[in-house]
Amino acid sequence: MKPSRALRWITPWTVGIAVWLTGFAMQAAHADTGAQSGTDDAQAADVSAWKIGIGPAILVTPAFPGSSSLKVYPLPAQDVSWDDRIFSQGPDVLGVNALRGKDYHVGTSISFDFQSRTSSDDPRLRGLPDVHWGPKLRLFADYTWWAFTGSMALYQDIGGTGQGKTVMTDLVASVPSGRLLVSVGPGFTWADAAYTRTFFGVSAAQSAASHLPQYQTGSGIRDVHMNVDATYDFSRHWTSSLALTAGRLEHYAAASPITERRLELNAMASVNYRF
């Protein structure tokens, strides 16, 4: 699916959520600014609260869930935030930390990923319906204690792509070393029946069209995985990052006749210029 076609999946609901997020964030921004004394001090605080970084990125991901081949996507990499309240980072196009503190965040965002499938991806997929990527509503929470950060995020399909909902839980330990910061830790992903049916199920009609055996799915653990993230600051303005996730498909995803390989690799490398 070409990126330009993603616009057709942005429903009025998606636009409404984005407007709500923006309005909520602007109310918070007005409240925070109004609490400060003096116009000059408020302006200075507003400027210092902005963090902006942009640059190129490369995403490597399976051609489709369960695929043994990979696809490479060149992407823009953005890292923009205001007062740790409003943000646009990576796949999160627009997000708000509704609750935040020194050690925690709770919020929501509109997010995109590249989980999709077309019959041209593999001859075995002929006869199966295409699955397009589209926007998802993400609800998240994270908490940091010392060097450890636990996080949970729920992703709900809001583009009508049939991808249902997934929940990702991770725990990482972060170790700084000079300009290098490395975070490593395990996690797992749960998927509902709609998601597993879309990507791993084979109905009777699909079995007849594709010659794959019929396969019924349900909700359960989609995968267990290990995360490795590394960030290096070359200077005050230039930084680079590498995020790698190696996972193993489980349960319905592992046993599906569509799955070619249980090992799943996702990686993203980027270079950002920070203003």
* Of 219 and 27, the one with more pLDDT: 219
**Contact criterion met (CB below 8 Å) for 155 and 168:** yes
Q: Which of 136, 81, 85 is nearest to 107 (CA)?
A: 85
Q: What are the residues facing 151 on neighbouring strands?
A: 142, 170
216-255 confidence digits (pLDDT tens): 999 999 999 999 999 999 999 999 999 999 999 999 999 9
> Nearest Cα to 133, choosing from 118, 113, 148?
113
pLDDT band at residue 12 under the 50/70/90 scheme: very low
pLDDT digits (tens, 9 = 90+) for 191-221: 999 999 999 999 999 999 999 999 999 999 9
CA distances from 164 to 7, 9, 69, 95, 227 (A): 19, 14, 24, 20, 24
Tell me which fold the domain 3-274 belongs to: Outer membrane phospholipase (ompla); Chain C (2.40.230)
Dihedral angle computed from the Cα positions of residues 265, 242, 102 and 140, in that order, rounded to the nearest 10 degrees:
-30
Tell me the C-alpha distance between 214 and 210, whole Å.
Answer: 10
Percent of the chain with pLDDT over 90: 81
For residue 176, what are its two tokens? 């700084």
- Let me know the angle formed at the C-alpha of 169 by 132 and 7, rounded to the nearest 5 degrees: 25
252 CB contacts (<8 Å, ≥6 apart)? 196, 200, 201, 217, 218, 220, 222
CB 228 within 8 A of CB 187: no
User: How is residue 51 written in tokens?
Assistant: 């963090």
Rg (CA), the chain: 20
